[in-house]
Amino acid sequence: MDALASSPLGWLCAGVTTLFGVTTLCTAKRSPVGRANMLVWSLLSVLLGLLCVAMLGAVVGLVVFFAMCLISVYFGSKVLLPVGDKAVLITGCDSGIGHALAKYLDSLGFVVFAGVLNEDGPGAEELQQSCSWRLSVLQLDITNATQVKEAYLKVSEKVQNTGLWGVVNNAGILGFPADGELLPMSAYRQCMEVNFFGAVKVSKTFLPLLRKSQGRLVNISSMAGGIPLPRYAAYSASKAALSMFSGVMRQELSKWGIKVAAIHPSGFQTGILGTSDLWDKQEKELMENLPADTRRAYGEDYLLGLKSFLLDLPVHCAPDLSPVLSSVLHALLARRPHGLYTPGKGAYLLLCIFCWSPLWFYDFFISKMMSSVSVPRVPTTSEDESKNL
């Protein structure tokens, strides 16, 4: 033990264990667990670290202690808080993930406020008929400041002094998938208005209620919000903005004990694709706004074939939404929620490839992956010249 005290590595081991204990204690200030219990855990952590070093030696002891810390953090992230009477607001519950999430959380005992674009629509009607009395349907167009304010007043009246435990910003639109050059500016504005500005407006409005409960803010972004994907320029830009907003808010709101998470799902079958009537309208708007030289560059076959890409998307999307629902539940109830969730096939893998591989490799990989989706071919320059001869 004397040799340990005189060793620089020994002092390092002692410092690391002490730092771990202090960090645990600081975290306890925002934890549902009592401070007294966490104080005991902090002291035990320090003593355990010193014991490992004393028994096994400085290097081996430090390695063992780090391994035990990692195991503790891993299993700690698996522990979920009780549902109790926790209330959660979800936007975009007319269909898709929001609709399924409202049903799922209601079945678990949450008090659910389901925001819908149309409170007289079939999605809202189904929620009212199939869910318990705890679920309330709210008319909530997140781009309408008046409706957001009215929803806040209704929710605050019901939760009163307990506050709102969670806000899940799920409402979003995809738009017509096409090359960024082809998309009209209205498509960019609409995606930003719904996917980003609407979520920011809802977050800012309901933060006073989250502060009361030291609750959770969960933003449903997209795999396309973390990696660039062809034909998703407007959608990806709006989701990337939402993801960065989530990261900044995670840092800023931690001082009030509010935890923030971003969900980056891969492809799932939801109502975000829209209807055939909507596709026709968006395709018409796209075609009418194209300059003549751009139309010639891409060719009529390519432009008219863009809808085939949209029609082919559901085939490559998973019908089972349970991975997304499980991620949201963990973000809402875990004692140590993750800052980022990547549910679904390939979401995490593609993010890793984009972050760690050379860009040329990522671009090549994505081009090969997207080739499995039905996409018309843009005419080459030589073909264009041969047509003009």
Active-site residue list: 235
Classify each residue of 135-157 as buried b or exposed e, where b means 16 or more C-beta atoms within 10 Å of its C-beta: bbbbbbbbeeeebbeebbeebbe
Can you say whether residue 299 is alpha, beta or left, with left for phi > 0 and alpha for psi between -120 and 50 degrees?
left
Residue 271: Cβ within 10 Å count: 15
Q: CA-CA distance, 224 to 263, in Å (whole number)?
A: 11
Contact 266, 320 (CB under 8 A): no
d(CA 15, CA 358): 38
Using DSSP bridges, classify how beta strands 87-90 and 111-116 pair: parallel, antiparallel or unpaired: parallel
What does each C-alpha distance from 119 to 50, 87, 94, 150, 380 come to in angstroms? 61, 20, 8, 14, 50
Helix (H, G, I), strand (E, B) or coil at 262: strand
* b/e code 343-371 from CB counts within 10 Å (16+ = b): bbbebbebbeebeeeeeeebeeebeeeee
Q: How far apart are CA 353 and CA 349, in angstroms?
A: 6
Strands in 111-116's sheet, in edge-to-edge order, are 136-139, 111-116, 87-90, 166-169, 216-220, 259-263, 340-341
